[in-house]
């Protein structure tokens, strides 16, 4: 029996749903019940009617699914699949920063641990970061943990943003030189990049969008060819949704921790019902409020 067939059987037996991020391996995306960006996945997790959620993504995503579904079993097939950017932020340092700037509102990008979310006033994703920041009362905002996304948001707000010194190594690897080389090779292609990219990369892009926003941009465009400035597996989903378009990946734009989720460990998780995401009720209560505020605001791109 093929892995996919056995996973489908066990999914039915366990009354499980499989959620996968756009950066997951193609074969993982193909077996998922829902593939999307962080905001889309959070919404799917919050409305899931299954008894079990198998979360195919990095650690903070699985934590968010548990926070939004405390009564359900959330499985994260590979506990080593951790987000390096989320690891750049710690709650003790956030608390110190809050003491230094007591009038500031705290925005935590979803790419943070549950402990850091619990220190925030509201969460955001790349799809609604600008909308979230502009919705706040204070004119001073502490933004965790991505300085590139903070820089991008600063372009669209009159508020003063205090950025945390973190970044996504995958998007940091996307450089102007790489984009310009691709533009020379494919002069007809539009350049779409993720707002986690460096400011100088954003400056030369034709569009800056979250991964889901890229889908919407392409859907509304009459162009046939695109350079995609985000993690390379996004092109798998784009190619499935738009088989008549041409997509070019940026060399080296790979998130190695996303690749740690495989069909084999998804099957093992469903067989053993582990590793299970566990968080204290107190922590989940604190982190749930900023996540729910984020979802209530909806998409911005």
Are 95 and 119 within 8 A, CB to CB?
A: yes
Vertex 172 angle, CA 169 and 173, to 5°: 90
Q: Tokens representing 281?
A: 């009720």
Q: Which domains does the chain have, with CATH numbers?
A: 3-82+258-278 (3.40.50.10800), 86-168+287-297 (3.40.50.10800), 170-249 (3.40.50.10800)
Reading phi first (left if > 0) and then psi (alpha if -120 to 50, else beta), residue 206 is in alpha
pTM recorded for the entire structure: 0.94
* C-alpha 172 chain-centroid distance: 15
First to last CA, the chain: 42
Mean of per-residue pLDDT scores for the chain: 96
Structure confidence at residue 47 (pLDDT): 83
pLDDT in tens, 216-260: 999 999 999 999 999 999 999 999 999 999 999 999 999 999 999
How would you write the pLDDT of the chain (301 residues) with one tens digit per residue? 699 999 999 999 999 999 999 999 999 999 999 999 877 887 888 887 899 999 999 999 999 999 999 999 999 999 999 999 999 999 999 999 999 999 999 999 999 999 999 999 999 999 999 999 999 999 999 999 999 999 999 999 999 999 999 999 999 999 999 999 999 999 999 999 999 999 999 999 999 999 999 999 999 999 999 999 999 999 999 999 999 999 999 999 999 999 999 999 999 999 999 999 999 999 999 999 999 999 898 876 7
Q: Which of 107, 119, 146 is nearest to 294 (CA)?
A: 107
Strands (E), the chain: 16-21, 34-36, 52-56, 73-75, 105-109, 122-124, 140-144, 160-163, 190-193, 207-208, 225-229, 246-249
Q: Which of 75, 22, 24, 17 is nearest to 47 (CA)?
A: 17
* C-alpha 205 chain-centroid distance: 20
Structure confidence at residue 1 (pLDDT): 60
């Amino acid at each position: 029996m093929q892995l996919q067939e056995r996973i489908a059987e066990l999914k039915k037996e366990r009354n499980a749903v499989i959620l996968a991020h756009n950066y997951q391996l193609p074969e993982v995306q193909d077996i998922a019940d829902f593939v999307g960006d962080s905001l889309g996945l959070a919404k799917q997790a919050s409305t899931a009617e299954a008894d079990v959620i198998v979360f195919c993504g990095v650690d903070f995503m699985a934590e968010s699914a548990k926070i939004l579904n405390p009564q359900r079993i959330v499985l994260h097939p590979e506990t080593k699949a951790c987000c390096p950017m989320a690891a750049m932020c710690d709650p003790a340092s956030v608390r110190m920063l809050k003491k230094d700037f007591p009038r500031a509102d705290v925005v935590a990008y979803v790419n943070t641990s549950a402990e850091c979310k619990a220190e925030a006033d509201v969460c955001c994703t790349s799809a609604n970061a600008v909308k979230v920041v502009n919705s706040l009362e204070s004119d001073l905002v502490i933004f965790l943990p991505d300085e590139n996304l903070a820089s991008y948001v600063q372009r669209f707000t009159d508020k003063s943003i205090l950025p945390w010194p973190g970044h996504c190594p995958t998007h940091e690897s996307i450089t102007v030189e790489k984009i310009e080389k691709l533009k020379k090779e494919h002069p007809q292609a539009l350049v779409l990049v993720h707002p986690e990219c460096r400011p100088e990369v954003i400056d030369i892009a034709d569009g800056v969008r979250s991964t889901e926003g890229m889908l919407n941009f392409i859907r509304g465009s009459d162009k046939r060819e695109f350079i995609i400035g985000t993690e390379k597996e996004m092109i798998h989903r784009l190619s499935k949704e738009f088989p008549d378009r041409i997509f070019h990946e940026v060399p080296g734009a790979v998130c190695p921790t996303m690749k740690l989720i495989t069909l084999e460990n998804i099957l093992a998780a469903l067989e053993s019902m582990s590793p299970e995401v566990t968080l204290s009720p107190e922590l989940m209560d604190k982190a749930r409020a900023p996540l729910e505020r984020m979802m209530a605001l909806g998409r911005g791109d």
